[in-house]
Amino acid sequence: MTEKIAKPEEQWRQQLSPEEYHVTRQKGTEPAFTGRYWNHKASGTYACICCGQPLFSSETKYESGTGWPSFWAPVEESSVALHVDRTYGMTRTEVLCSRCDAHLGHVFEDGPAPTGLRYCMNSAALKFEKTPVSG
């Protein structure tokens, strides 16, 4: 089990940009087609912007047409936590970082094989770590 990370809100505010704080700590959403990773194609791992926990691999990233980075599976099932989100008159499944409870986005059941899932994430909640070139 991953050790939980908890910090006072003021510490999160100092660590994160205003947009990162709004998305991850206040459950915000960046506008579609504006985030740094929605059309990103490099090989590597997408980690939590708050605590650095690896969340998604570029190998599971795909173009969903939604304007947000989308993945069909997390790196490890245990790296994300799922919660029912009933805001805005809808029932959705919220995706959180399992280590620091950062809001990442939502998961929907309209994704590609093999999982049929679409983890629709906010770029502001992610930090990309490029896969080192070997040789």
How confident is the model over 4-47, as pLDDT tens digits? Answer: 998 999 999 999 999 999 999 999 999 999 999 999 999 999 99
- Asked whether 111 and 118 are in contact (CB, 8 A), the reply is yes
User: In the structure, what pLDDT confidence band is assigned to residue 87 with cuts at 50, 70 and 90?
Assistant: confident
Write the DSSP assignment of 40-81 as a string of letters.
---SEEEEETTT--EEEEGGGEE--SSSS-EESS-SSGGGEE
Percent of the chain, pLDDT > 90?
Answer: 90
Residues paired with residue 96 on neighbouring β-strands, in sequence order: 81, 103
Model confidence, pTM: 0.93
Exactly one of 50, 51, 97, 120 is catalytic; which is it?
120
| SS percent in the chain: helix, strand, coil, step 5 | 20, 30, 50
Task: Return the CATH fold of 9-130.
Answer: 2.170.150
Lowest mean pLDDT among 7-11, 83-87, 129-133: 129-133
19, 42, 61, 66, 87 from 35: Cα distances, Å = 10, 15, 15, 12, 22
Active site residue 48: no
